[in-house]
Structure 1
Amino acid sequence: MRRLILSTIPDNFNPQTDIIIGPWSLIGKENLYPEWEIFKFEPDLFETNDEISINVKITVDFAEYYMVRLSNYLNEINKTNYSIEFWRLLILPWLLTLVQTTWDRQLRVNKLLEKYSSEEIEIELVKDNIIWNFKNTLDHQQNGLLKPLYNHWLYSRLIESKISCKWKINWIEEATDVTFLGLEKKLWRKKISEWFSIKFLSSTVYGINRYQAIFFEFLLHLKLTTSDNIVKETWTKKHDSVQLDWNLDWDNLVKATLPQCFKNITLKTIKRHTRNTFFLVGPVLWYDEKIKLKLAREIEKGSKIIVTQHGGSYGTTKVYPFSAEIEYKQYRFFSWGWGQQENYLGNIIPLPSPLLSRNKYKKKNSKIIFVSFRSMLYSYRIHSIPQPIQQLQHRKLKIEFFNTIKSEVKENFYYRPPINEMGSLPDKEYFKEKFPYIKILMGKLHEETMKCKLLIIDHPDTTLNIALAANIPTICFWDSNSWAFSKQSEPYFQRLRDVGILFNNGAAAARKVNEICNNVDGWWQQPSVQKARKDWVDIYARSDKNWFWIWAKTIWELK
């Protein structure tokens, strides 16, 4: 009888007969099976970008539909009477994550059932007696979605009512009361910083210092307007009929995994503002529960939120639902230069980035720095990013790169691994062991890149925006089939390919590095290379030494 393994592989794992649901089952066990990457895994869920888009749409629609029901439940348990808009700002990042990840796991389960239901299979399922005590949205992500226990428990709930009569179930019992995050002891400096962030929300914008934040708070306080010309989410009848055919009791799942921070909301008297009040914020609508609660109450009063871009992927990624739902639909969204991303609606204003405007590149050493992407195997969203099997393929592209660079390049070669490897492969140890010549670069990344000879990037995220905006000589590579770009940004990426900045595989990128390593500046300063860079930067990484006054004028003139 074959075994179907839903969690980390057991000690008696047999790669010839056991069925592995995905490569994440090998996390922490890679050293036991040096050739594990050639094991036969179940394929990735989505074959095309259209499939990703379809599943994103139905999960977003369901989350919006369920928001009404969940708002009523939260008002009931908290003894409050807040609006849907209040709860949407507070809880949508967690709810949409729960919907998408559960749908992702269910699609995998259903494919397994379809494929193996006629076979005799042995499977271990976790009993449904675990009490999850997630503290907040981030806790649910880090200690739930990115950990084996939660995923095994969730797979068990999704499969138990659909299981084939030919399958043998072995029920296992885990800890029944699971608490991860306790009270954190904070240094006085951190306490002061958090107090300042809550008091002066503009200070949460990336690139804005405290003096600038105080100025913007004063400017926003002075601003008066009665306009309400923005894109708003409305709970119309289109949401009333949205349902997903779940394998489990959805309401029970929500109650079982609902973070504690949403169960302790106190009712405060809300008096609507007699004039519009504005708040300028950075990336706080995702995980900062204290600031989210403050802003949710301000929304009840009629306040308006201006959200700002804080990193890469904005504008460039084809399927990008979280930012589109959480940030773009606020009163305004300040981008780093772009105005449209696919067909997402939004109140988007292209502006220079404070963060990018303060960076200055000046070569001071001969370091060639490789900045690596996180090899994420546990998915926690559905969007345009490499799926688990594609992550293994991406790792092979990096191996190609390291195998192709010549010895002269290796002398000054530094590898920057991902700092956070939760739910991911431990690339730091893997590549250091496989390529002993690699020197590991830790510490403050961008301080190092601003003085290096050449930067290598294997993913289109924030480091790419920072590098091209600062005019750091840069070579990139990734598989274009794994990273889908918006229809607006694809032509700009193609120009980077045309001039030899961007490549589709590691070997080609390494050959380019070998070619230019003795005259990096000569290559980088070519007019065609600089034009492609400037064209990309003007739309997706705009900077300006006068950004402060541009922002002040823009805020003052908002209607």
Structure 2
Amino acid sequence: MTAPDINPRLYLSRLDDDYDASRDVVCSLSCFTGFEDRFDDWQSLEFRDPFPTIEAVEEASEAIRKFNAHWINSHAGALNNRHGTDYSRGFWYMMVTPWLSELLQYAWSMYRLLDAVVADHHDRPLSVRVWQGEHDWNFSCGTDFYSRGMYHQLFDWWLRSRILGVIAPNSWRLIGASPTAAEIEDNLRFAATASYNVSGPRQLVRRIRESLAFTLINGARISAIPLALFANLLPKKDAPPIEPTAWLEDDFDPRTVFPQAFLDVLETTIEETTPLYLRDGFTPLIARAKQTRFVKGRVRFGTFDYGNTQERAQAALGLEAGEKLVQVQHGGVYAMLRAYMSPGENEYFGHAFLTWGWTDNQNYPGRRYIPAPSPLLSSYANTHRFRDRSLVIVTTAFWTGLQRIYSGPRSSRVIAWRDQKVSFVKALKPDIIKETIYRPFKVIRPNIGELDNEYFIKRVCPNLRILKGDLHGPMFRCRLLVLDHPGTTLNIAMAANVPTICLWDDDTWALSSNAKPIFDAMRDCNMFFASPEAAADFINTNWDTIEKWWSSPAVRDARAKFCHEFARTRRLWWLDWLSVLRKI
């Protein structure tokens, strides 16, 4: 009979009803998702960050970039041998990076976090429930890897168990356990397949896109077709080869950057998570993609979804055939943060990247960034009208996961950042609170690492109105919009001329060299605050004259600078695009 476990426990993943805050250890804030109302004191706990400073975030981002390029350089030959092909490194970069770069960010973040937990508690006799045995994940495509892997608690537990197995001190007791049938079933419930068999209008749209060599462009679902026809009629110029890993020094050795224990567990993790499309599913994937017509010198453009393996296979084969790859910005945040490697690794490496205004990126210098008016933002240009007295607060997700390395909210800051919303609302005058509408970030799927935004605000501000459904209508007629993040909503608001105040501090969102002077100008005219109390004080004082403030010369100039860099619009935006495509 097994003796009862009397040691305090270390929780690697989600909590259970036996959690005892007085003795147990929780490795990360994400363990509390889904249990926020079950335990009272968790908000006062201190959580470690894998990278505690913005400089550490930048250093980690650069290290992962190098490892990603190194792995592709050193494995392209083996991949070609396995599949009987002779594709370039550019081809394999296009196919491998959406999976590998995301896995690397997550694994390195998790290793650093658990290593810190070990350092803090190595002398305590902790018990840890770890995943026992093998598991064949069989991720079918990029989307499946994200859905069942990166953003599912079962994979979270599996990866943390793998890492802890190589760094746990001898004083800890690792208790082997297997996932339940219900847990596995829940994971499989989110399975995504690389389906090629669609019918009806979707099949027609896909065939048009494939034949004309373009993909989804945000805000231009129909108008992209004549653009693509134009691109197909352009003279076909030779395209220079794409070498996205050529910047890496030949003698780069991961052992000089990462500890050997991490490299050991990473090697097996890569083997066990390699998606089927890079294994047995590669041949049928390429056979299907080769049904596409490729034209040497033609421009293939659009937003090539990280998870859409079929689209990326077509783009990669297009590169091999001498086509020009032009990717297109599809949302906000781009070039605004000091560190944000996911778009840099997956989108910036083609023959050109069409931006919403910016022409340089501090993390990825030397690329061909071409500014062009955004079709999406152009559809909203100057649509705001002062039609009511509402103050609309729009928040992003209270994210606790460690999937990506970027200069956004870190675990140690999430609770304080969330509490800022309460401080802001409570500092407003009562009559303004009556006009306030709170828009929580919509939880797409429960328990993937988000704290419940709506539940939280209802509990602490029960009389605050919650906005559900359409956001743009209320936003385009409000008196004032307040944002806690530099996401796509900010770009839309600036394009639409919505009176806007940004509210966050440098420790929460560290801005890039592109963005900092823009936001400095916004701060100077009260469009940007770090303190919730200061923002509320400005609103309380100027509530009845918001329209006058928003139309002041300083505010108009700050907004114009923002739009020039991050939100260019034009009614006939496609004229600019015709000119751009002609020059590529």
Candidates 529, 534, 556, aligned match of 1:503: 529
Separation in structure 2 between the aligned mates of residue 529 and residue 537 of structure 1, nearest angstrom: 12
What is the alpha-carbon distance in structure 1 between the residues aligned to residue 174 and residue 514 of structure 2? Answer: 50
Change (3 A) 1:206 1:274: closer
Moved more, 390-399 or 430-439: 430-439
How far has the Cα of 1:526 moved from its partner? 1.0
Corresponding position of 1:310:
330
8 Å contact 2:239–2:322 — kept in the other structure? no
Matched residue SS, 2:282:
coil
Q: CA deviation at 1:399?
A: 1.2
Aligned to 2:240: 228
Code of the aligned partner of 2:246: T
Relative distance call for 1:420 and 1:367 in structure 2 (3 A) is same
In the alignment, which residue of structure 1 is the partner of 2:434?
A: 411
Shift of 1:276: 0.8
Q: Does 1:208 align with 2:220?
A: yes
In 1, Cα distance between the equivalents of 2:488 and 2:538?
Answer: 23
Alpha-carbon distance between aligned partners in 2 of 1:226 and 1:191, rounded to the nearest angstrom: 31
After TM superposition, give the deviation of residue 400 of structure 1 in Å.
0.7
Local SS of the residue matching 1:224: coil
- Aligned CA distance change for structure 1 residues 374 and 271 (closer, same or farther; 3 Å): closer
Post-superposition shift, 1:84? 2.2
1:492-511 Cα shifts (integer Å, max 9, x gaps): 10111110011102222222
| Equivalence for 2:154 | 149
Cα pair distance change 1:364/1:45, threshold 3 Å? same
The residue type equivalent to 2:393 in the other structure is F
Asked if the contact 2:217–2:224 (Cα under 8 Å) also holds between the matched residues in 1, the reply is: no
The whole-number CA distance in structure 2 between the counterparts of 1:154 and 1:441 is: 37
In structure 2, C-alpha distance between the alignment counterparts of 1:162 and 1:298, rounded to whole Å? 44
Give TM-score scaled by structure 2 length: 0.89
Q: Distance in 2 between matches of 1:246 and 1:412?
A: 55
| Kept after mapping to 2: 8 A contact 1:216/1:552 | no
Moved more, 298-307 or 206-215: 206-215
Q: Which secondary structure does the structure 2 equivalent of 1:204 belong to?
A: coil
**Counterpart in 1 of 2:117?**
112
Please say if 1:25 is aligned against 2:35.
no
DSSP 3-state at the match of 1:53? helix
Q: What is the 5 A alignment of 1:239-388? A: 241-243=253-255, 244=258, 245-247=260-262, 248-263=264-279, 264-266=281-283, 268=287, 275-282=296-303, 284-345=304-365, 346-359=367-380, 360-388=383-411
1:482 aligns with 2:508: yes
From 468, 485, 493, give the equivalent of 1:442: 468
Q: In 1, distance between residues paired with 2:416 and 2:154?
A: 26
Q: Deviations over 1:109-166 (max 9, x none)?
A: 2222222222222111111322213232233223322332211111111111332221
Alpha-carbon distance change, 272 to 187 in structure 1, aligned in 2, over 3 angstroms: closer
Query: In the alignment, is the contact (CA less than 8 A) between 1:231 and 1:330 conserved in 2?
Result: no
- Amino acid of the residue matched to residue 27 of structure 1? T
Shift of 1:275: 3.9
Change (3 A) 1:37 1:190: farther
Q: Which moved more, 1:259-268 or 1:393-402?
A: 259-268
Please give the secondary structure, in 2, of the residue aligned with 1:349: strand
Amino acid at match of 2:425: F
2:191 counterpart letter in structure 1: L
Is the contact made by 1:367 and 1:453 (CA closer than 8 Å) also made in structure 2?
A: yes
1:131 aligns with 2:152: no
Deviations 1:4-40 (A, max 9, x none): 111112211111111111111111111112342112x
Aligned partner of 1:312: which letter? G
Deviations along 1:411-459, one digit per CA (max 9) or x if unpaired, are 2322211123542111012212321222222223224322222211110
Distance 1:420 1:293 in 2: 31
Aligned-partner residue type, residue 531 of structure 1: D
Is residue 2:183 matched to residue 1:162? no
Change beyond 3 A, Cα 1:107–1:83: same
Cα distance in 1, alignment partners of residues 273 and 326 from structure 2 = 30
User: Does residue 455 of structure 2 align to residue 455 of structure 1?
Assistant: no
CA contact (8 A) 1:231 1:331 kept: no
TM-aligned CA deviation for residue 347 of structure 1: 0.9
Q: List runs of 5+ in structure 1 lacking aligned partners.
A: none
Deviations 1:508-527 (A, max 9, x none): 22222222322221111111
1:86-101 aligned within 5 A: 86-101=91-106
**Cα distance change of structure 1 residues 277 and 342 upon mapping to structure 2, 3 Å threshold:** same
CA displacement at 1:79 relative to structure 2: 4.6
Indicate how the Cα distance of structure 1 residues 262 and 416 shifts in structure 2: closer, same or farther if over 3 A, else same: farther
Of 191, 196, 200, the match for 1:181: 191
**Coordinate RMSD, CA, aligned:** 2.6
Q: For 2:527, give the aligned amino acid.
A: I
- The alpha-carbon deviation at position 472 of structure 1 amounts to 0.6
Distance 1:132 1:394, change over 3 A: same
Contact 1:3-1:121 at 8 Å conserved across structures: yes
8 Å CA contact 1:122–1:170 kept in 2: the answer is yes
Query: Does residue 1:68 correspond to 2:73, yes or no?
Result: yes
Instruction: Name the CA distance, whole Å, in 2 between partners of 1:62 and 1:222.
Output: 38
Find the partner of 1:5 among 11, 20, 36.
11
Q: Give the conservation status (yes or no) of the 8 Å contact 2:522–2:528.
A: yes
Q: Secondary structure at the match of 2:254?
A: coil
| Contact residue 166 and residue 265 of structure 2 kept, 8 A | no
3-state DSSP class of the match of 2:103? helix
Change (3 A) 1:306 1:405: same
State the percentage of identical aligned residues: 25
Q: Structure 1 pair 68/384, CA: closer, same or farther in 2 (3 Å)?
A: same
